[in-house]
Amino acid sequence: MEESILLEKVHALRRRLRWVRTVESALAWTAPGMWLALSLVLVLKLGGRGWVELTLALAAVPLFVVGGGVARWFRPPGLLETAYATDQELNTRERLLTAAEWVLHEKPRTAVAVSLLRDAAGLAREVDPGKLFEARRPGWRPVLYPGLVIGLLLALPAWHLFVEPPGPEAVRVARSARTIQQLADQVGRRPENQRLARELEKLARELKEPGVSPAEAAERIARKRRELHRGQGQGKGDHSPESLAEKLRALARQKAEGRDSQAMKEALEAARETLEKGGQSAGPVEEAERALEEGQEEALAQAAEQVASALEKAGAGEQEMMSQVDEALAQQQGELSPGQLAGDEEGIGQMQVGNDGKEGQGEGPADFGKGTTNKEEPAQETGKNRVARQGERTSDWTEEYQKLYDSQRVARTTSNTQVKGQRGEGPGYLDAPGEARGAPSAGGQVRTQAQEVFLEHRREAEQAVAREAIPAEYRDTVRNYFDTIDPRS
């Protein structure tokens, strides 16, 4: 009986002593951590580092505290060590240690041993482990003094004793990199924007590279904007939210006899993935699948309309996010190189609006015929930067289209059909030498109305769109191009 009471109390005292020694060890390692942090802050300060790097040096303090506590926790005291520590606290002349050693080593139970065990058990029964062992706090001066010095170093401006201070251009680039990184963190909070967040993080890392000038940083931002626009345009295919919504509505309007059930199931499954990726509920999709299996046409139409509305909402949210990201990148590009952004915007405006505010009408001399496209006099090229010339080149999608789809025209050698001068007031006829379209001959005049030429080209474009000879993502561009042209001008 006395043995069980004694061992139970010794185990309780051991747990308490282990915890107290862990806390004391963690507190004892606080001062070395503070002095190491002070040394790191001083070295970084002499190296001209910024406030962020100096703050990271303070991580040495919690690392030392946690490391010291964990190291001591995995070295628990033994039972005899605990009994000896208890005797030291109670000043009992090793009575508990002797009794514990007698029990643990299983020595013979003599009359003296039984009396000793009974006395030690009675003593242990009255001991409170929580009050007996309390953590001792070290002095505050070894921690306070380095802490005050660290605070003073953080408050002082950066020193540049051994390195040159960063110039205003480097500061601008670093500020833009931090802003883009914050934008990436904000965009990456939603699961469907992880790819966009990774692209922004990659751009921020590129801007943090040493030696990046504001002009180069602005060019990288402009390149990233073009990549995002190109990726957004390529993403508007058959699997975009808008296309899925239109496909679901079309399938729902069909009668049950003529409807492709497999296509409907695939469209609903694609809609489910899109909605779940956007964090929206897929309940309408389940209702539509249930109505499709049961053959309820009215319920299927209602559920399909709900799914289509949810898809359109998801597509609108994605476009809004892309618009916000593009606006933020444009702002950073303008701050880094205002002239470059102004040149880009001016070039875009000139391509969209011409003389008298009419769309599709440009300025300058006429540029028709062989060997005249995108050519200017050498004097006019002077002073144009690379961005201005970039706005005059053929658009990227035209080059990609020409690479993917070979032209069906037959190459024929023709004479020069260049027309010089401005178009003046007249009945709207185009004078071109020759007897018919194609290779012109030396004599004869052909007078063709501009309206007829416009209508013929528009019919050819509509036929190309109807035959699906033009990729789906470029069909709206072709339609909008002819809608913006006024054949009467």
Residues 316 and 458 in one domain: no
Which pLDDT tens digit goes with each residue over 168-190?
Answer: 777 788 888 888 888 888 877 77
Q: For residue range 223-234, what is the model confidence (pLDDT) as tens digits?
A: 888 887 776 655
Closest alpha carbon to 115 in 133, 132, 98: 98
> Do 94 and 210 belong to one domain?
no
Domain extent for 456: 448-489
Residue 279 in any domain: the answer is yes
Q: pLDDT-based confidence at 142, cuts 50/70/90?
A: confident
Closest CA to 122 of 9, 218, 244, 27: 9
Residue 224 one-letter amino acid = K
Last residue of a domain, one of 155, 181, 200: 155
Q: Which residue has the higher pLDDT, 338 or 26?
A: 26
Task: Tell me whether residue 70 is in a domain.
Answer: yes
Beta-bridge partners for 429? 449
Based on the fold, state whether residues 140 and 27 are members of the same structural domain: yes
Q: What is the mean pLDDT of residues 236-250?
A: 62
Residue 391 lies in a domain: no
What is residue 436's DSSP assignment? S
* pLDDT tens digits along 419-451: 565 555 555 444 444 444 454 444 444 445 556
> Which residues sit opposite 448 in a β-bridge?
430
Residues 151 and 17 in one domain: yes
When divided into structural domains, the chain yields a total of: 4
Asked, for residue 111, whether it belongs to a domain, the answer is: yes
DSSP codes joined into one string, 353-421: B-GGG-BT---SS---STT-TT---HHHHTT--HHHHHTTSPPHHHHHHHHHS---PPP---------S
Token pair, residue 69, equals 């506590």
- What is the average per-residue pLDDT within 1-22? 86
Provide the token pair at 138.
């070290």
Q: Are residues 278 and 204 in the same domain?
A: no
Contact 359, 353 (CB under 8 A): yes
- 363: Cα within 13 Å, side-chain hemisphere: 10
**Both tokens of residue 116?**
């000793």
pTM: 0.39
Q: Two tokens at 468?
A: 């699906």
Rounded to an integer, what distance in angstroms lies between the CA atom of residue 463 and that of residue 319?
30
Share the mean pLDDT of the chain.
Answer: 71
CA-based torsion, 205, 207, 212, 218: positive or negative: positive
Residue 422 token pair: 């401005």
Considering the domain architecture, whether residues 27 and 91 belong to the same structural domain is answered as yes
What's the pLDDT band for 355 if we cut at 50, 70, 90? very low
Instruction: Inform me whether the pLDDT recorded for 358 exceeds 50.
Output: no
Per the listing, tokens 């009994």 go with 83
What the block records as the tokens of 486 is 């006024």
The residue with greater pLDDT, 374 or 229, is: 229
Output the pLDDT for position 215: 85
- Write the CB contacts of 462 (distance below 8 Å, at least 6 apart in sequence): none
Rounded to a whole number of angstroms, the CA Rg of the chain reads: 41
Residue 404 domain flag: no
What's the CA gap between 338 and 374, in Å, rounded? 26
Mean pLDDT of 28-46: 90
- Tokens for 284? 């309408």
Domain boundary residue, one of 307, 330, 353: 330
CB atoms within 10 A of CB 371: 8
The answer to the question of residue 403 being in a domain is: no
Of 197, 216, 235, the residue at which a domain comes to its end is 235
Tell me, yes or no, whether 183 and 293 share the same domain.
Answer: no
Residues 16 and 89 in one domain: yes
Report the pLDDT value the prediction gives residue 157, as an integer from 0 to 100.
74
> What letter would DSSP give residue 192?
G
Kindly state whether residues 85 and 202 are assigned to the same domain: no
Indicate whether 39 and 134 sit together in one domain: yes
pLDDT at position 360: 44
The number of residues in the chain equals: 489
Shared-domain flag, residues 186 and 267: no
Distance CA 149, CA 38 (A): 7
Quick one: CA torsion of 265, 267, 268, 272, rounded to 10 degrees?
Answer: 130
The crossing angle, in degrees rounded to 10, of helices 261-277 and 297-336 is 40
Exposure b/e, 129-161, CB count within 10 A at least 16 = b: beeebeeeeeeeeebeebbebbeebeeeebbee
Assess if residue 45 is contained within a domain.
Answer: yes
Residues 8 and 149 in one domain: yes
Q: Which of 265, 258, 310 is nearest to 289 (CA)?
A: 265
Q: Is residue 77 classed as helix, strand or coil in its secondary structure?
A: coil
Residue 419 within a domain:
no
Range with lowest mean pLDDT among 4-13, 312-321, 437-446? 437-446
